[in-house]
């Protein structure tokens, strides 16, 4: 068990270190999410409610996540480095867990900018929204990482990931927007928790089969 966690830590540190050195993913995500919010400001008619804007916030975050996920296995794909990791005696699911953790970190960073920006451009953000994003991030990172590995192994690459990802993100958006706007956020937050649990377990168990033959 501790060996497994040790592997996860080693791999996650590697991913964070690489991002720190290359600095291409997180800045792009930050810029993208703010730009998207500004575009949305212009695309909403004047009488549009704040509720509609919250929906757009979720969309902005989902597409920012997609941007980050597309980069998640970029190095591994370009230099076939995933082979190097798959050859190692560590559990392949540790690769997934480590990569999800770094994706999660990037996403949280992006939201740390996005939510205040939203509060500035549109309307203040309540605790339910923050909680919803926290839960949604887990699901996005878990599922997105696995799908990113799939897309990296295909010929279509960046084109494929949104197609694979968007149907699976629909329940997250439902849960997230629901928790942000509805009177009883508890149900929606519980649903997000359920999504996270179910899909994280599935992704953890099946990552092995995505990266090996």
Partner 1 sequence: MSLRNNAGPAAALGAFAFLLGGVALAFYWVPDDADQGFSQRIFYIHVPVALTAYACFGWGAWKALRLLWTRDQRYDLESYTAVHMGVIFGVLTLVTGSIWAKISWGVWWSWSEQQLVLFLVLFLFYSAYFMLRYSTDPGPRRASMSAVYALFGVVLIPVSFLAIRLAENFIHPVVFTRDGPQMEGTMFLTFCVCLAGVLALATALYQTELAGKRLDERLRELREALA
Partner 2 sequence: MSSLDARVEGHDVEAQVIVRARGLERRFGEKRALRGLDLDLGERDCLVVTGPNGSGKSTLLALLAGLLAPTRGELEVSAARGSIGFLAHEPLVYRELTALENLELYGRLYRVRERRERIGMLLERYGLWDARRERVSAYSRGMVQRLALCRALLHDPRLLLLDEPFSSLDAAGAEVLDAELAALAGERALVLATHEPERVRPLATLDLALA
Cα Rg of the chain (Å, integer): 17
Q: Closer to partner 2 at the Cβ: 3 or 170?
A: 3
| Alpha-carbon span 177 to 188, nearest angstrom | 9
- 130: partner contacted, choices partner 1, partner 2, none (Cβ within 5-8 A by kind): none
Which of 7, 111, 137, 196 binds partner 2 (CB under 8 A)? It is 7
- 94: which residues sit within 8 A by CB, 6+ positions away? 4, 7, 8, 11
Angle, vertex CA 13, rays to CA 109 and CA 29, nearest 5: 25
- 187: partner contacted, choices partner 1, partner 2, none (Cβ within 5-8 A by kind): partner 1
In whole angstroms, how far apart are CA 197 and each of 64, 92, 193, 201? 23, 19, 6, 6
Q: Closer to partner 2 at the Cβ: 82 or 177?
A: 82
By CB under 8 A, the residues from 57 to 96 that bind partner 2 are 75, 79-81, 83-90
Which of 94, 148, 199, 200 binds partner 1 (CB under 8 A)? It is 199
**Site for partner 2, rule CB under 8 A:** 3, 6-7, 10-11, 14, 17-18, 21-22, 75, 79-81, 83-90, 212-213
């Amino acid at each position: 068990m501790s060996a497994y966690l040790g592997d996860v830590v080693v791999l996650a540190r590697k991913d964070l270190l690489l991002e720190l050195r290359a600095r291409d993913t997180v800045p792009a995500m930050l810029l993208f999410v703010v730009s998207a919010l500004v575009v949305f400001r212009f695309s909403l008619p004047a009488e549009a409610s704040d509720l509609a804007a919250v929906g757009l916030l979720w969309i902005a975050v989902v597409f920012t996540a997609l941007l980050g996920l597309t980069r998640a296995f970029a190095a591994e794909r370009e230099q076939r480095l995933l082979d190097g990791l798959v050859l190692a005696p560590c559990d392949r699911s540790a690769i997934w867990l480590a990569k999800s953790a770094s994706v999660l970190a990037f996403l949280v960073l992006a939201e740390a900018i996005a939510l205040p920006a939203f509060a500035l451009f549109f309307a203040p953000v309540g605790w339910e929204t923050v909680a919803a994003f926290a839960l949604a991030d887990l699901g996005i990172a878990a599922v997105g990482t696995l799908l990113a590995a799939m897309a990296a192994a295909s010929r279509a690459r960046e084109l494929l990931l949104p197609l694979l990802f968007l149907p699976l993100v629909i329940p997250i958006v439902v849960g997230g927007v629901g928790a942000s706007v509805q009177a009883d956020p508890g149900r929606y937050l519980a649903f997000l928790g359920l999504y996270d649990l179910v899909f994280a377990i599935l992704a953890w168990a099946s990552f092995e089969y995505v990266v090996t033959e």
